[in-house]
Amino acid sequence: MTLPSIVYGLFLLSVIGLYWSVSVRSLRIWLLVIASLVFYTSLQVNYLPLVAVLVGFNYWFGRVLTTPLNWRIPNEQWQVAEAGWHRRRQAWLWVGIGVNVLTLLAFKYVDTWLTWVWPPATGPDAPLTDWRAIAFPLGLSFFTFECIAYLVDVYRGAPATRNLAEFAAYKLFFPKLISGPITRFHSFTNQLKSQPNLDWNWVVEGLWLIAVGSVKKLLIADHIAILVNLSFDNLERAGSGDIWLATFAYGIQLYLDFSGYVDIARGSALLLGINLPQNFNFPYLTTSIAEFWRRWHITLGDWLRNYLYFPLGGSRRGLARTCTNLLIVMLIAGVWHGDTWGFLIWGGIHGVALAVHRVNHAIANRWTGLDKLWQTPFGIVLSWGLTQALVFGSWLFFRLPEPRQFTLALQRVWGTASDAQFMQQVYGEAIGLSPSQLWGLLILVMGIMGLTYGVQHSLKLQLNWPLKLLLVPLCLFAAWILAPTETLPYIYFEF
């Protein structure tokens, strides 16, 4: 059951009908739990027990963190008892975080660890499949991040839930279960109301988001993926222009693929009266790397800021420490995506860029001439160009994380001509468009993003609901008819 598909559409309609037919909050919560379990079972039933156990563990840890101090203790012993109580809560917090992190690391890097202990067999008698290849549980990364956020929030004073079903509904909520957006417990559960109050505006917006997400994923991202996969799977024959084109195309594919998923997830949730947080806000129109991270994968950026950057000291301990903290956070973000060097380099590039941006900001505060330069039309265009060149250039390491892959790509990125057979098979037979035509189409996609942003944010114009309702079936039909024969899995399902 994938998003979007006819099966998912029928499933969603069934859940919506049942959800709004009951008015008791507890029944609605249990319905969401059961529906989410059915959804996960359709994708990866073998890891359902693991997910259920993690839900139980984190619910229990939350309860332990809110165990009250015995108020009957004599006054002369109160300070000692309170200090011990804080130490126990901190210890339980670290145990809870450790369970989540170790579970994530165990599955994410099990192949690497087992390779150190038990190298793979080679030779003619080697098995065709490696017994160590353990499938990564879908949604575990985002699941783990939400659990850590919940435990830290409870430790900081937020109330822990005493309703296991409520916590399970939050953790397993099927629209966001696999790839987010990362959602906080209290903002989610506060929307689980008892009385039916379906807002017509939310219905229209939910359908519109599902339609837009389907177009992004099926109509655009999956078609771009054909070019990206053919180019990067045949690096030995690709020329410099092909690698630049594929890297630029991958940046657009990744954005449309991931934001398309989030649109469908948010739209599905709106039809159930739940507003999930926004995860993208036109990140390729930003003029600084800091602004890019405020508008790209917004919930992950908030998580990194609140649960890593601030605990490390944030920007409170001087410029050098601030830059170090930024680099550490982005290196951790790179390692989170995978255990190969490409992801670490990608994180390091963004970490260094954020540090340079912070140094530039500090200099501009003292030298007004530099600050005025960045605010001129020339400075805005220059900063946008530098930011996006860095972002799109770093996607090469994200798409080709193995050292052998990105090394070969870097060797061929300048002054290398395309293989004639590559040109014929990729552009002539598989795609049917020349490289210049593909550049034009990709730039057109970027232009549509810019136009949409200008209309929505500068002119403050939005499509009205009758027009959205008219376009919804047209978008869904176009996405269904014009989608590639094989629907590709979402890129972020790998993480």
Residue-wise pLDDT for 158-173, tens only, equals 999 999 999 999 999 9
DSSP summary character for residue 316: S
Residue with token string 């993003």: 449
DSSP summary character for residue 354: H
Distances in Å between the Cα of 34 and the Cα atoms of 81, 169, 173, 206, 238 are 43, 9, 10, 22, 49
pLDDT tens-place string over residues 312-367 = 998 888 899 999 999 999 999 998 888 889 999 999 999 999 999 999 988 888 88
Contact 228, 238 (CB under 8 A): no
Contact 267, 206 (CB under 8 A): yes
Asked if the model's pLDDT at residue 143 lies above 60, the reply is yes
Residue type, 479: A
The average pLDDT across 482-494 equals 83
The average pLDDT across 135-148 equals 86
What average pLDDT does the structure give for the chain?
Answer: 88
The average pLDDT across 417-430 equals 87
The average pLDDT across 408-427 equals 89
Asked if the model's pLDDT at residue 126 lies above 50, the reply is no
- 352 vs 110: which has the higher pLDDT: 352
Highest mean pLDDT among 110-119, 120-129, 401-410: 401-410
Report pLDDT for 184. 93
DSSP summary character for residue 109: S
CA distance 271 to 391: 34
Burial (CB count <10 Å: 0-12, 13-18, 19+), residue 236: exposed
Asked if the model's pLDDT at residue 116 lies above 80, the reply is no
Q: Over pLDDT 90: what percentage of the chain? A: 62
Backbone phi and psi for residue 426, each to the nearest 5 degrees, phi listed first? -80, -60
Report pLDDT for 492. 84
Residue with token string 């690096």: 235
Residue type, 15: V
pLDDT band at residue 279 using 50, 70 and 90 as cut-offs: very high
CA distance 168 to 69: 27
The angle, 0 to 180 degrees and rounded to 10, between the axes of the packed helices 140-155 and 75-108 is 170
Residue type, 310: F
Task: Note the pTM of the prediction, 2 decimals.
Answer: 0.90
pLDDT band at residue 3 using 50, 70 and 90 as cut-offs: confident
CA distance 294 to 354: 12
Measured CA angle at 12 (ends 9, 15), to 5 deg:
150
pLDDT band at residue 494 using 50, 70 and 90 as cut-offs: confident
pLDDT tens-place string over residues 230-273 = 999 999 999 999 999 999 999 999 999 999 999 999 999 999 99
Closest CA to 254 of 3, 6, 488: 488
CA distance 225 to 488: 8
pLDDT band at residue 94 using 50, 70 and 90 as cut-offs: very high
Strands (E), 59-140: none
The angle, 0 to 180 degrees and rounded to 10, between the axes of the packed helices 140-155 and 164-172 is 140
- 200 vs 112: which has the higher pLDDT: 200
| Exposed e or buried b per residue across 44-81, where buried means at least 16 C-beta atoms within 10 angstroms of its C-beta | beebeeebeebbebbbebbebbeeeeeeeeeeeeeeee
Report pLDDT for 396. 96
The average pLDDT across 44-56 equals 91
Measured CA angle at 297 (ends 293, 299), to 5 deg:
100
Asked if the model's pLDDT at residue 78 lies above 70, the reply is no
The average pLDDT across 74-103 equals 82
CA distance 424 to 339: 36
pLDDT band at residue 91 using 50, 70 and 90 as cut-offs: very high
DSSP summary character for residue 137: P
The structure tokens listed for 296 are 């790209």
Active site residue 297: no
* C-alpha torsion angle, residues 51, 52, 57, 62 (rounded to 10): 100
Report pLDDT for 495. 74
Contact residues for 274 (Cβ-Cβ < 8 A; gap 6+): 173, 188, 191, 192
The structure tokens listed for 312 are 């490390």
Report pLDDT for 98. 95
- 23 vs 383: which has the higher pLDDT: 383
Residue with token string 């917006």: 205
Asked if the model's pLDDT at residue 427 lies above 80, the reply is yes
The average pLDDT across 414-431 equals 87
Backbone phi and psi for residue 129, each to the nearest 5 degrees, phi listed first? -120, 145
Residue with token string 């506060």: 190
Of 223, 297, 337, 361, which residue is the catalytic one? 337
